[in-house]
Amino acid sequence: MTKMKPEKLLTLFEELAEKMDINIVQGKGDFQGGMCSLNDESYIVLNKLKPVDQRLGVLVKEFSKMNLKKIFIQPALREYILDTQQELL
């Protein structure tokens, strides 16, 4: 797997979310994060108090639930998602 800085991966996830009309919101609180919908808009909520690796894990988990086959994803990000999915199994 190509090693990419976590901050760059977050940026790539933000770009992917924008393409898919999903809002990524970072907040503080006592929660893990995840996907939700409000007024016909989709959101992935991340806890900015959690380590970046944990926030990336939430993004992988949520994007893994979606059909990404017809969406262009940067190869490094697609590889990261697939590799991380395998680790979670």
Q: Model confidence over 42-54: pLDDT tens digits?
A: 999 999 999 999 9
Return the half-sphere exposure (C-beta side, CA atoms, 13 A cut-off) of residue 34. 5
- 12 in a domain, yes or no? no
Q: What is the pLDDT of residues 28-78, one digit of tens each?
A: 999 999 999 999 999 999 999 999 999 999 999 999 999 999 999 999 999
The pLDDT score that the predictor gives to residue 86 is 84
- 50 in a domain, yes or no? yes
The pLDDT score that the predictor gives to residue 3 is 78
- 5 in a domain, yes or no? no
Question: In total, how many domains does the chain have?
Answer: 1
CA distances from residue 71 to 18, 30, 31, 52, 63 in whole angstroms, order as listed: 12, 33, 29, 25, 12
Residue 89: band (very low, low, confident or very high) from pLDDT cuts 50, 70, 90: low
On the question of pLDDT at 84 being above 70, the answer is: yes
